[in-house]
A and B are shown apart, each in its own frame.
Chain A
């Protein structure tokens, strides 16, 4: 079968286009071929082997006519809202974020952006949209409550274990991979809760954002009092063992010792019990463990390897 390898557009200003595609989509120059009358630039990133080819005709100074036939290039991203916000911050002028829900069921969401030469690019949210929708609700990667950029937020961050507490009601991962607003719990409490969740069910290949999702449900008016009290008890237990706080214990074994001491408490059992479904029933987590989930819509495994074991 034929494989799609690249699409070519003609651009006026090489540097301007290369900067745009890098900033917008992380597409870097994979190859550059310079000829007498023109230059070819191939852009790609690690997500796919597909390349965007830029043709720069030397001496061309006027804008190209794009006509009314060409449509757009499309890319997909993990977190559309975050990307949209980032595009705004970066001054890329994205158009409105649109949800396509013809009969009330969300099928897709996307926004359009235009490159320096006026070519349209559609930015879509990746598959598994239901799970994404849930993530959207609990995670808001770049929108700060005070309208700060992500970079500004991170520069103000103070360390809190695996996560940063970034001022009132907002915490973020040190690398900016995720961030979450808390509405009721103190950010320090929430950061400690996320660390506690990871220490109860530590999976080194599972990112913090999944633990954040698993415990975000406690950030409510009904649950907050009990959680604040539980985390306070956890910190008190840590102080009893000579640490500043639970998160102040850098080694997992020290934190686990602290948890063992309160294993029978209602608080510990509430958090542990909630994680059993809160963590492991996230569909986005399943592929990390190799679990394939629902198979009926793919016709089961009768022709997809139900007996393909090859090492016996």
Chain B
């Protein structure tokens, strides 16, 4: 029962993007009886379409439109045209995500106050009190079915976890478990329990992992209040001469330019596309792009401090079997400047298949040092490092006017330099990760550089003061009352935790706020 709305219907809320932010927001609004048109650049893929094959899946789901890179991060050298590993499909990157669902720690909402002055970092406190988020986090955990919350059982540990856990315990780590995962440990609401298939990153064939593609989106459509338009690539957001946004221009599946009128526009296209849309919407009234009076649109791009540690043992591990990321060490996530950096990091189990291991273990590497590692692939264990990186004004998304996409629109350039705090934290994490595996008898270890980013944050950040950021505490842009940001680009700081749970909690919260404001006639 998909609701069809007229292009000229100016009572609808237009949501751009259908991932963790947009997909959840669209459903939450539809459940409240609000009419929503969701514009999704990608097509619709469901569990029966996903494939247990890394490169084939990548071709099916990944956002492969051109982008460019600059800065000293290694991704700019190794994957210069592919700064991010994110998804272009209904459900966005919730098809690809691992499912790790962690709440921010209280102090991470107040990074500037907690960490003090960090040279070169553009730190700011979120304009949100941690206690405001408690109920929304609970709602998000229940929506996603997060294990180890709400009475839900944890997932069983796979081979990769068992190696990781044994090493962690040997080192004296205490907060070690199979994670808080948005992956069913028991069948729930018609979705299967995890079958330990692996390939979490390629879309869950069982639907055991939460993705908005087969949960929130169909639930919203079932209300009759939500229309999802697939293969609808947004070009720009339009406004009237009072400075209110009035609609969205997009290219439909045939490449024809369409315009959907709107009462409110919510942008949730990930931290690259969201600022890109604002910048590509520049007009004589807003020559620097929409909602950019602060000059902060595109700035403070964060990608989490990441890296991996793989290790080879003298006997098989078969790390690819089972849930990809059901394993975590949380002891290092605390803020403890005595380690030589502010903020903290998580260590989480991770496995890649042979094809992606060849691509990511040591990008550009060759010869026997490289191939002898792959010869031991069956005996490998792996973990991922994810920690808080420092927002920097110069780490930013800009329009690359030299390169156009298939619609003739300037693509983004992604500039990123590691902050010294990021480097110090990564080196600490490498050391600890290596120690975990050494404690289980690793014969060889590989501190592996960051992959193309999946956690893309900042670029339309939330601030108390309109001079410091793009949106207020509700994700409403400081400059334009009926223009909202609804994805991870509104993050003020990144925290150490995987961001999806917080994106979902903020979307639920934003839906409540929008409904209140709309019924009060303020929007």
Residues of A within 8 A of B (CB): 199-203, 205, 256, 272, 276-277, 279-281, 285-286, 289-297, 299-302, 304-309, 311-312
Contacts and interface: CB of A to CB of B under 8 A. Distances in A.
25 contacts: A202-B368, A203-B374, A205-B375, A256-B367, A272-B366, A276-B359, A281-B55, A289-B374, A289-B378, A290-B377, A292-B320, A294-B51, A294-B53, A296-B206, A300-B197, A300-B198, A301-B158, A301-B198, A302-B196, A305-B159, A306-B156, A307-B162, A309-B159, A309-B317, A312-B440
Given A305-B318, A305-B321, A202 B371 contact: yes
Contacts of A277: 55, 355, 359
A301 B320 CA distance: 10
A302 B367 contact: no
Contacts of A300: 195-198, 206, 322
Interface residues of B, number: 43
A302 B371 CA distance: 31
Contacts, number: 114
A176 B133 CA distance: 69
A291 B195 contact: no
B358 interface: yes
Q: Is the interface of B mostly helix, strand, loop or mixed?
A: loop
Given A289-B377, A289-B378, A290-B378, A306 B159 contact: yes
A307 B159 contact: yes
Contact of B196 (A279, A297, A301): A301
B166 interface: yes
A281 B353 CA distance: 10
B347 interface: no
A312 B317 CA distance: 10
Which 8 pairs from chain A and chain B are nearest by CB? Answer: A290-B378, A300-B197, A300-B195, A294-B52, A306-B322, A280-B358, A306-B196, A291-B354
Interface of B: 51-53, 55, 156-159, 161-163, 166, 194-199, 205-206, 315-318, 320-322, 353-355, 358-359, 364, 366-368, 370-371, 374-375, 377-378, 440
A306 B158 contact: yes
Contacts of A285: 354
Q: Which of B53, B166, B197 has the most CB of A within 10 A?
A: B197
B366 A290 contact: no
Contact of B355 (A202, A281, A306): A281
Chain A CB within 10 Å — which of B51, B166, B366, B440 has the most? B366
Contacts of B318: 290, 292, 305, 308-309
Contacts of A309: 159, 162-163, 316-318
A306 B52 contact: no
Contact of A293 (B52, B322, B366, B440): B52
Contacts of B157: 307
Given A296-B199, A300-B197, A301-B197, A286 B354 contact: yes
B491 to A, nearest CB: 33
B354 A289 contact: yes
Nearest to A203: B371
Contacts of B370: 201
